[in-house]
Structures are given as structure tokens and as C-alpha cells.
Amino acid sequence: MNANNQLPAVGTTVYAIAKNNSTFKLEVVEGTMESISENGFKVSHRRTGFITDVYLYPMHAWRQECFQTKNEADVGLALPVSYTHLRAHETSLHL
């Protein structure tokens, strides 16, 4: 977050903690801030040359799952999260 406690501008590079679908491990991925609304923000993550995933995050995810710098994301990846937080990311495929 910048000095004004705001989300970075649209088009800014951001870093998110995401699950690698092949290894099932969490990792830091680079993305681009696509849009910001009162409900949340969209970040696109380039997976391969032509495939881009776009995720909609709720506002509270900033500084929990999405960060301004890779160093912040690396630290965030190492921090423990609650059981409730983990369950919030599960889908019917996980159950």
C-alpha cells in the first residue's frame, strides 16, 4: 500500500500469494492491478505465454494475499493464517 493507505493504481505490478495447481503449494505470483471498485479489486496473473487468470479479491485481501512488492509477498507467504482463512479458499473440489 502506498503512503496514503490506498491500493496501487490500475496498471501497477502487484504480487499475490496463489496456489500452484500442479504442486498444490502456495507461491508468490506477479500480476497487474486491472480494476478497483468498492467491492474489491481485480488482478490478472499471467500463467503461461497466452493464458492469463483474472481474480477478483475482496478489499480485505490487500496486504493479506496481495502486496505492492515481492518482498512483502514473500513475508506474507511465511506468516501463519487461521483455519477459517484456509477454509475460505476451499472449493467443492477440495472437500
**pLDDT (tens digit per residue) in 26-47:** 888 889 999 999 889 999 887 6
The reported pTM is: 0.69
CB atoms within 10 A of CB 34: 16
In this prediction, residue 33 carries a pLDDT of 92
- Per residue in 41-94, pLDDT (tens digit) is 999 887 666 667 888 888 888 888 888 888 888 887 777 667 776 676 665 555
The arithmetic mean of pLDDT across residues 13-25, rounded, is 82
- Can you tell me whether residue 84 is helix, strand or coil? helix
The one-letter amino acid at 94: H
Contacts of 84 (CB under 8 A, 6+ apart): none
